[in-house]
Amino acid sequence: MGRIAGVWLAPRARITGAVYLLYFLTAILAQFFVSRGLGVYGDAVNLIAYGFYVVLTLLFYYMFKPVNKSLSLLAAFFGLMGCAVGVLDLFHRVPSHISPLLFFGFYCLLIGYLILRSIFLPRLLGWLLAFAGLGWLMFLSPPIAKYLSLYIEVLGILAEASLMLWLLVRGVNVQRWKEQANAARS
């Protein structure tokens, strides 16, 4: 744990923000291709986007491990499962009743909770991510999602973009991260 505590400095958090930005850009590009009827290109770019999200999930696991190792691992599991279901869906290998949003909703909820429990990121980001997670889970009920989809998507994008921008611009409070890592170690 001491080695990890020495590694997670502000530049590493900014790298996490940069990977988050790359995910956003590739996901937007994939949607652009799909909306233009270029589904094959959209699927290819979505594969890249999921690759970035896998890396992001692993980076978040290490970032939040000092907060709660078990919950950070559980969040990583949900994030990776969401990516796996999303990739399988690109190849039409997932039963229609399984949505990646089931996993990403729980992932955002857990990351939001971990941010709230951390002492190195603003609590507002935790609340935003937790509400975004609840929003993504509402897509599992089509009648609710039908009326709220625009608001849910805006909330989700706002929450994740806020976290991404915070990590890019500010990183984490290194001193507090080290304090939490040392407390978890003892």
pLDDT at 6: 45
pLDDT at 10: 63
139: containing domain = 2-185
pLDDT at 8: 45
pLDDT in single tens digits along all 186 residues of the chain = 444 444 445 678 999 999 999 999 999 999 999 999 999 999 999 999 999 999 999 999 999 999 999 999 999 999 999 999 999 999 989 887 788 988 999 999 999 999 999 999 999 999 999 999 999 998 888 787 778 888 888 999 999 999 999 999 999 998 899 899 889 887
Q: How far is CA 127 from the centre of its chain?
A: 14
pLDDT at 63: 95
pLDDT at 141: 81
Number of domains forming the structure of the chain: 1
pLDDT at 150: 85
